[in-house]
Amino acid sequence: MLKFTFRGVRGSIASPGPNTVKYGGNTTCIEVRAGDELIILDAGTGIFPLSQTLSPEFPLTCHIFISHTHWDHIQGLPFFIPMFVSGNRVKIYGGQDLVTGKGVQEVLSRQLEYAFFPIREAELSAELEYISLSDNQVVNIGDAQVTSVLMNHPAINYGYKVTCGDRSLFFTGDHEWPPNIYQPDDDDYQLFEDHIAQKRKSIIDAVAGVDVLIIDTAYTDDEYPAKKGWGHGSFSSSIAMARDAGVKHCFFTHHEPTRSDRDLEKAFQAAMDKHPGQPGDPKFYLAQETFTFEL
Domains, the chain, ordered by start: 2-294 (3.60.15.10)
How many angstroms separate the CA atoms of 164 and 171, rounded? 15
For residues 266-287, average pLDDT: 96
The 10 Å CB-count burial string (b at 16+, else e) for 48-59 is bbbbeebeeeee
At 108, the pLDDT band (50, 70, 90 cuts) reads confident
Q: How distant, in Å, are the alpha carbons of 113, 119, 250 from that of 116?
A: 6, 9, 37
87 by Cβ neighbours in 10 Å (0-12 / 13-18 / 19+) ranks as: exposed
Q: Is the pLDDT of residue 152 over 80?
A: yes
Q: Is the pLDDT of residue 105 over 90?
A: no
How many angstroms separate the CA atoms of 3 and 60, rounded? 18
Instruction: Mean pLDDT check: name the lowest of 48-52, 96-100, 163-167, 197-201.
Output: 96-100
Instruction: Mean pLDDT check: name the lowest of 132-136, 159-163, 185-189.
Output: 185-189
- For the chain, the maximum distance between any two Cα atoms, rounded to a whole number of angstroms, is 63
Q: What is the residue-wise DSSP string for 46-83?
A: THHHHHTT-GGG-S-EEEEE-S--SHHHHTTGGG-GGG
To the question of pTM greater than 0.85 for the whole model, the response is yes
DSSP-based three-state secondary structure for 201 = helix
Beta carbons within 10 angstroms of residue 276's beta carbon: 7
How many angstroms separate the CA atoms of 233 and 179, rounded? 11
